[in-house]
Every structure is written in C-alpha cells, then in structure tokens.
Amino acid sequence: MARMLSTADDRREVVLDSAIAVFAERGYLGTPTSAIAARAEISTAYVFKLFPRKESLFVAALDRCFTQIEQALERGARTADGGTPDEVLEAMGDAYAELIGDRSLLMLQVHAQSASDIPEIRDELRRGLARITRFATVRSGAGPAAVQRFIAYGQLCHLIVTTGLDEVPEAWARALTDGIRHP
C-alpha cells in the first residue's frame, strides 16, 4: 500500500510539472488534458484520477507556481538579512527576476490572468497574490506603499518579458524598461 501511495504521489508531481509546462505553452483554454498526460507519459484517465477536472489541475499548477515564487522570494530575502525593508524587497525582486527566467512560471501566471473569468482560477490567483503580498510584507518589514510598488514592479517585469520591450529602442519602451533588471 505504501508503494502504491508513493507511486501516486510521484505521478502527481510529474503531472503537475507537465501541467505547468503545457499550460504555459498553450494556455488554459488551448490545453487538452491529453496533452498534459502525453507530456507526463501517463494515460489521460490517470490524470483525471489524480485531478478530476481540468480546472483542478490548473489550480494545482498555479498553487505550485506560487509556492516556487515564495521560495524564491525567501532565498532572495536571506541575501539581504539585516538590510532595510527596501533592500530586502530589492533582493526578493532580483530572486523573482531570476525565477521567471524560466518562462513557464511567468506564462502560467499570464495565462491564469487571461482565464480569470473561471471562478476557480480567479480564486486561486487571488489566493496566490494574497500569499505573496503577505509574505513580502512580513518578510521585508515594508509598509503597504512599498509592497504595492514591489508587486507593481513585478507585473511590469511580466509585461517587459512577454512583449520583448527590452528589445524596442524607442523612447516610450525605454521609459518602461530603464533600470529594470531581469534575465
């Protein structure tokens, strides 16, 4: 019995990793569950055994994404321990920029925003944003205005990366990209 549970747990992890990658490539609406099953090298029926609905799989993938974000922010914050709240937030931002160098986590968030008319996805997106906002506030010791700037800066980084603005030479693009570092 213990081995069966371990196998199911292992497969669940593989399915979640596959889901993040495939949802990031194709979006929520453009991803059939069979594509995730194929990437995970298991049957579609087994995916549905682990996650009864596509929404529950997307929500679990998004939760995993926010867990990885929180872990990255913690790693960044540790590099600035003893620093000012702004220094801690900056270190957290650097760690986040490094994390989204793997575009799958970035694109999963973008696709979650585009599918936020689905209540389960909107609710998970809100939970994740609340989780990251609370974490940034508590871990940095920063006030609400600084945390708001931190989150807004992250969203601007998303925009820059997804649209390739750092490659646009015009003044309007430089106004958005100047001083922003990301991989």
CATH, residue 91: 1.10.357
In a domain, 156, yes or no: yes
In a domain, 171, yes or no: yes
In a domain, 48, yes or no: no
C-alpha 125/C-alpha 130 separation (Å) is 9
Determine the pLDDT at residue 81: 93
Asked if 125 contacts 113 with a C-beta cutoff of 8 angstroms, the reply is: yes
Give the domain range for residue 149: 55-177
In a domain, 149, yes or no: yes
Q: For residue 3, name the pLDDT band (cuts at 50, 70, 90).
A: very low
Task: Single out the residue of 133, 135, 170 nearest to residue 154, CA to CA.
Answer: 133
**Residue 182 confidence (pLDDT) above 70:** no
In a domain, 19, yes or no: no
Determine the pLDDT at residue 5: 45
- Indicate the number of domains in the chain: 1
Tokens 């679990």 — which residue? Answer: 60
Asked if 65 contacts 16 with a C-beta cutoff of 8 angstroms, the reply is: no
Model confidence over 5-26: pLDDT tens digits? 458 788 999 999 999 999 999 9
**Residue 179 confidence (pLDDT) above 90:** no
Global pTM reads 0.90
Q: Is 67 helix (H, G, I), strand (E, B) or coil?
A: helix
**Residue 2 confidence (pLDDT) above 70:** no
What are 89's two structure tokens?
Answer: 């937030």
Asked if 124 contacts 62 with a C-beta cutoff of 8 angstroms, the reply is: yes
In a domain, 100, yes or no: yes
Interval 60-74 mean pLDDT: 97
Chain centre distance of CA 181: 18
Model confidence over 99-143: pLDDT tens digits? 988 899 999 999 999 999 999 999 999 999 999 999 999 999 999
Q: For residue 82, name the pLDDT band (cuts at 50, 70, 90).
A: very high
In a domain, 18, yes or no: no
SS3 assignment for 71-127: HHHHHHHHHCCCCCHHHHHHHHHHHHHHHCCCHHHHHHHHHHHHCCCCHHHHHHHHH
In a domain, 26, yes or no: no
Residues near 105 by beta carbon (within 8 Å), at least 6 away in sequence: 20, 24, 65, 68, 69, 99
**Residue 183 confidence (pLDDT) above 70:** no
